[in-house]
Amino acid sequence: MARLRRLQIHYERVVSEALPVTLTAAWWLPGIVARQEWTPPTDVYETGSEWVVTLELAGLHEDEFEILLYPEALVVQGERPWRRLGEPARVHRAEIRQGRFHAAVPVPGVVDGDRVRVDYQDGLLRIHLPKTQEGPR
């Protein structure tokens, strides 16, 4: 069952990353078609005692995202608010993603949920997932 869920998460990520580029970016009109969710850049690495997941969430406050830990996946979701420009302006480049976001990272092993540690500093969210002594699931 865990393999199926990982495949579903991977499929959802591939589709959500492809749609904004091919459909939404080309056809998006404010108020007519909603923009798709985006996925923040994510790094995952492993040490001898833990897995560390780092997401780039620059410009967000801690109340603008949530972290959910499931047996199969770590999910970070939230919204980067649309910032007003102040006065009418012509946009020449808009690369900073705004709106709803969602990142699902498969949990690579058994995690000690009671010892999970989260740090958010300088726009980087680091989630430390301590390994348990139970072995692979």
Place of tokens 């865990």: 2
Q: What is the DSSP letter of 133?
A: T
Name 116's bridge partners: none
According to CATH, the topology of domain 2-130 is: Immunoglobulin-like (2.60.40)
Both tokens assigned to 132? 């348990």
Highest mean predicted confidence (pLDDT) among 2-6, 21-25, 128-132:
128-132
Q: Check: CB of residue 112 under 8 Å from CB of residue 130.
A: yes
In the predicted model, what is the mean pLDDT of residues 32-44? 80
pLDDT of residue 117: 97
Which residues have C-beta within 8 Å of that of residue 116, sequence separation ≥ 6? 69, 127, 128, 129, 130
Q: Check: CB of residue 66 under 8 Å from CB of residue 76.
A: yes
For the chain, the domains span 2-130
pLDDT at 23 exceeding the cut of 60: no
Q: Give 68-104 pLDDT, tens digit per residue.
A: 999 999 999 999 988 787 888 888 888 889 999 999 9
